[in-house]
Amino acid sequence: MIEVSLHKKLMSANGEMKLNTGFKLEKGEFVTLYGKSGAGKTSVLRMLAGLLLPDEGRIAMNGTLWLDTNNGINLPPQKRNIGFVFQDYALFPNMTVKENLLFALGKKDKSVVDELIELVELGNLENRKPQTLSGGQQQRVALARALVQRPQLLMLDEPLSALDTEMRISLQDYILRLHREYELTTILVSHDVSEILKMSDRMLILEEGNIVKDGKPDKILLSKDVSGKFQFSGEVIGIQKQDFIFIISILIGKDLVKVVADEDEVKKLQIGDKVLVASKAFNPIIRKLP
């Protein structure tokens, strides 16, 4: 379990801002930090990583103090054993894919490197330099490198924002797979509603440096209307023509839903669009799952 309380004056685009956050994370949780740019999301991650010192704060990881400004405790990033994936990947250009991972490993057993390379399917690229890889491939390297030291906490700072939709969906799957495989506690910074619904167990909404909402993503994001209407928001991930109609595949939460549409409706849609799927006239059937 991680207990966090952080306070710092930050200079944001709109002038001075006071960051006041406090939260607890359970082991194995997948949490998304959501909020406008400048709300303090990246600062929270950097403070957790030890890259930024808060004016006042306390971080306890399973009872070990990483930070306690009242008692002058501040573990450097080197001692916190965390995985951190940067927005620009931050791969070392002078090393190959495998060397990047081996550098992270130090003197430990090398089998974890091979295992990770296999998990993110980089075997045929392991001797390439990062500059020669596509954005999605670089991100997979960054992800694998962050996990080489078997951290308990993985932090991802908008890792997928620079990728196109297909690549993003495939990387989301890699991240989820690694999250489960390595029993990680993961914090993701994301703006993307469908990504949050698909990936996270819980979300924190940050506004002007304060956590204004904390809860299950579907409850927070989908509770706009409680009039009994049946509605979900999702993302279009496929459009297929079948005879005279079209089948639109929409990712809602972690589930794929197929919806029938006619040609006029399809004209306005393309892959990656955020859509609302709603129905008024029919009554959904509810059955208890075994």
Partner 1 sequence: MDWGPIILTLKLALITTVLLFIVSIPLAYWLAYSKWRLKPVFETLVSMPLVLPPTVLGFYLLVAFSPSNDFGRWLNEWFGLQMVFSFEGLVLASMIYSLPFMVHPIQSGLANLSPNLREASYVLGKSRITTLFKVLLPNIRPSLLTGIVLAFAHTIGEFGVVLMIGGNIPGETKVASIAIYDEVEALNYGAANSYSMILFALTFTILLVVYLVNGGYLKRFWK
Residues forming contacts to partner 1 in the complex (CB under 8 A) are 49-51, 76-84, 86, 88, 90, 92-94, 103-104, 106, 145-146, 148-149
- Tokens representing residue 5 in the block: 């309380």
Residue 206 in contact with residue 21, Cβ under 8 Å?
yes
Q: If residue 231 lies in a helix (H) or strand (E), which one and from where to where?
A: strand 230-242
Nearest alpha carbon to residue 63 among 24, 7, 19 = 24
Kindly report the backbone phi and psi dihedral angles of residue 128, in degrees, each rounded to the nearest multiple of 5, phi listed first. -90, 155
CB of 101 to partner 1, least distance (A): 10
CB of 208 to partner 1, least distance (A): 25
Tell me the C-alpha distance between 43 and 74, whole Å. Answer: 16
Instruction: Give the nearer residue to partner 1 in terms of CB position, either 104 or 252.
Output: 104
Instruction: Give the nearer residue to partner 1 in terms of CB position, either 155 or 250.
Output: 155
Instruction: Give the nearer residue to partner 1 in terms of CB position, either 85 or 125.
Output: 85
Dihedral (CA of 129, 139, 270, 258) sign? positive
Instruction: Give the nearer residue to partner 1 in terms of CB position, either 154 or 205.
Output: 154
CB of 93 to partner 1, least distance (A): 6
CB of 99 to partner 1, least distance (A): 10
CB of 128 to partner 1, least distance (A): 14
Instruction: Give the nearer residue to partner 1 in terms of CB position, either 93 or 290.
Output: 93
- Tokens representing residue 258 in the block: 């197929």
Strand arrangement, sheet containing 274-279:
255-261, 245-252, 230-242, 274-279
CB of 51 to partner 1, least distance (A): 5
Tokens 């109609």, residue located = 245
- Tokens representing residue 283 in the block: 């009554």
Side-chain-side CA neighbours of 179 within 13 Å: the count stands at 21
7 has which bridge partners? Answer: 20, 56
CB of 116 to partner 1, least distance (A): 14
Q: If residue 147 lies in a helix (H) or strand (E), which one and from where to where?
A: helix 135-147
**Cβ count within 10 A of residue 98:** 20
Residue 175 in contact with residue 198, Cβ under 8 Å?
no
CB of 215 to partner 1, least distance (A): 29
Instruction: Give the nearer residue to partner 1 in terms of CB position, either 105 or 245.
Output: 105
Tell me the C-alpha distance between 123 and 200, whole Å. Answer: 29
